[in-house]
Each structure stands twice: as C-alpha cells, then as structure tokens.
Structure 1
Amino acid sequence: METARDPLLELLLSEADEIFTSMAGALDAVRARPRDDVALARLIQGAHTLRGLAAIGGHAAIADLAGRLEAALDRQRRLAIAASGETLGLIDESVRALRQLVALAAEGRGDVPPAVAALSGAFERAGAAPEERRPTVLVVDDSRTVLRFVERALSEVGLRVVTARTAAAAAAVISSERPALVLLDLSLGDLDGAALLGQLADDSALAGTRVVLFSSRPDDELLELARRFGAAGVLPKTRAPGELVARVREHLDAPRHGSSAR
C-alpha cells in the first residue's frame, strides 16, 4: 500500500510548476531588458514564495537556495544594477537547481547534488560586486531645491547621484566620474547648457557622454534644442518622482549610438 505524502510537500509541489513557469517568463523579460522592474519583481516574488513553502515544509536546501536567490535579486533591484550575462546565468542555474531540488523532494529524497551546493559560493561572489557598478547620474542645475528633489528620487531606487550647480563643476565631474547619464539644465550661472554640450562635443574623450536636457521649457522647444545640440533626449522638470525615475531608467537602458531625443 502506497504511503500518503506529507500534505506540506503536496502544497509545495502543487504550486511549484506555476512558480517556475512565471519565473521562466520573467527571466526571458530580464534578458530582453536588464532593468525590467516588473519582471524582476516577479522573479523576487517567485523565489520568496518558494522559500516560504519550503521553510514551512522543512525542506532546508530549497529554502536556502530560494532565499539566496531572493536576496541577490532584491539587491540588484535596490542598487538598480543592470543584469549582466553572469547574473542572468546565475539566475538561470538557480531556477534549474530549484526545479531539481523540488523533484528530489517529490521522490522523498533530501540529498543536495554537488552542482547545487556550489551555487552558494557563486552567490557570495555576486554579492561582493563593487558599488561602482551602480549607474552614476550627474544632475546639473543651479537650484539647490531641484538638486535635492532629483537626488532623493534617484537615490531611493539605488542610483548613484552626483550634482553640480555650474557648467565648470559639471565638466570637472564628467571628466572624473564619467557618469552614465547627465541631466542638464539649460540655464546655469556661469554658462548655458547648450554651450556645455558644445564643449563636450569638442572633447573626443567626453563626446560620448549621454546628456538629457532637463528643463521647464516647453517640450517642443526642448526637443528642437536636443536635436540641434546632439543631446540624447529631454526630461521636463515637472515630472513626479516615479515618472522621473522611469524616464531616467529608459535613458540608461537606451542604445548609446545616435540621438534618441524624445
């Protein structure tokens, strides 16, 4: 006579297929767009649910691996780090390993294959990623209030933010920090933003700097100025924090070749 399985194991098995299907779709989305917050949230939720189910059922290996994956994904989300090929590979390996562990649990086995155990070290190495991997955004504006607003909004989602109130200070920061993105006001105390764009274009080492015009001027005027001076795009100052963050991330994810003023 066949022995009935633990009802907690049945709960884990009943939900596992749906969780893994969701995570596989989310992983495909992150491959296509490394900063896809919605897809990243689905991966985090899947790992979190697996961890909880496994912990309740006493499946320590599954709970440990799912917990490590959840923590790594959450760190990536908080620091706004784009998923690298190495990171995507680690996520893929982890999901496959979790599938394997769930299958072993279904057979009543609690052994952990060596390849699965080795993932712990990979997570530790990934967690030691240096802070400089965080994208740096330079905000150039002569208003302290604007600088504080933008710095707070972008810092809260893990971006590294530096600020400058003059064109001269901005040029120095660009040269030393090589930011991933510059939000540039057009009206500065020492030099207007258009002139600074011209200086950057004339410097071969800095010509590839991605600059977005950040101004309260009408959109049509901003777009025309962006096209004229080779800016990557425009961003009105009236945006709410959530929209500001979304637009900044769009520019960070956009291809670097050509102008994408919009």
Structure 2
Amino acid sequence: MGFSGFYRLFRRRRPTADKDRRHNRRVIPSEGTTVLIVDDSRTVRRVMGIMLRQSGYRALEAADGEQGITLARRHKPNLIFMDVMMPGMDGFQATRKLQMDVQTQDIPVIIISGNRQATVQNWVEKTGAKGFMAKPFERGELFRRLESAIY
C-alpha cells in the first residue's frame, strides 16, 4: 500500500455534529487503561498508538498474532484491536486462542480489516470478538468502538 492508501486510511472527513467527539461526552481513561494494537502495518500501529496515547491510554503494539497473544497474556490489556490479515497466525486464529485461554478470555477484541464483506463480519461473531471496525476509519470511530467495548 502506497502513501495514497495510507492517506485514505487516516484522512479526515468533515464530521457531522453527532459524530464529532468535541460535541460528545469524552471518557477520561483511568490510569493504566491499556489497549493492545495487533497489526502487521507499522504505520497503522503507530497512528493508532499516537491517537490512544494523546487521549490518555497506554498503547501496546504487536506486529503479528503470536506476539499479540504473548503481550495480552503478559499485560492483560483492557481492549485489543486485532487486524485480520497478518503473516503467520491471522487475526481470527489469534482471537480464537485468546478466547480459549483462561488468562485472556475476558479481554474484549475488536477486529479491524479493510475487507468489509459479510463473511468477515460473520467470522467476527464466530470467534467471539466484541465488534468489527472497517479500514479506513476515523479517530471518532476508533474511540466510539473503544468506549462501547470497555465502558
């Protein structure tokens, strides 16, 4: 994916009043509220991490499913954003492993993917994920998903 693809992924659109977080109640995270970002794209991890840190969250980053599982077991994050297509263990496999592990089964997972097809959303339900967020996404959507999953 070239620069134009990443630009589309994180471009700002003119917000409507109901979607603009400036007009909505902001959730201030308690100290130590941790979000794990599992995505093979360093750019996606970095941009999401910056957004989360700016809002007071602790952000952890993993480049693949195996590393994501390891970090989830070690740090017990409050939420995991899990990409679908990754080398090695994909996001669905990693989510199923997290759901079957006593240490991590209560951590909500939101699947993120550029594929908006119904089959992906069907797999989200089958794996026990808390929700689905399509790429590209806006900052407001990221926080709406996060807040609905953990608050």
* Partner residue of 1:144 out of 31, 39, 42: 42
Superposed, 1:56-71 pairs within 5 Å as none
For structure 1, the 5+ residue unaligned runs are 1-36, 41-75, 82-132, 254-262
Instruction: Output the TM-score relative to the length of structure 1.
Output: 0.46
**Structure 1 residue ranges (4+ consecutive) displaced by more than 3 angstroms after TM superposition:** 37-40
- Which of structures 1 and 2 has the larger relative contact order (alpha carbons within 8 angstroms, sep 6+)? 2
Aligned to 1:167: 65
Alignment-mate amino acid for residue 220 of structure 1: A
Q: Distance in 2 between matches of 1:229 and 1:205?
A: 17
Q: Distance in 2 between matches of 1:244 and 1:219?
A: 19
Kindly, what percent of the aligned residue pairs are identical?
Answer: 25
For structure 2, the 5+ residue unaligned runs are 1-22
CA offsets 1:146-189 (integer angstroms, 9 cap, x no match)? 11111111111111110000111111100110000000001111
SS at match of 2:47: helix
User: Counting strand residues as a fraction of each chain, which structure ranks higher?
Assistant: 2
Counterpart check, 1:226 vs 2:124: yes
Aligned to 1:204: 102
Q: Distance in 2 between matches of 1:199 and 1:223?
A: 18
Aligned to 2:93: 195
Q: Distance in 2 between matches of 1:250 and 1:149?
A: 21
Alignment length (residue pairs): 129
User: Counting helix residues as a fraction of each chain, which structure ranks higher?
Assistant: 1
Label 1:39 to 1:164 Cα distance change in 2 as closer, same or farther (>3 A). Answer: closer
Q: Which has the larger radius of gyration?
A: 1
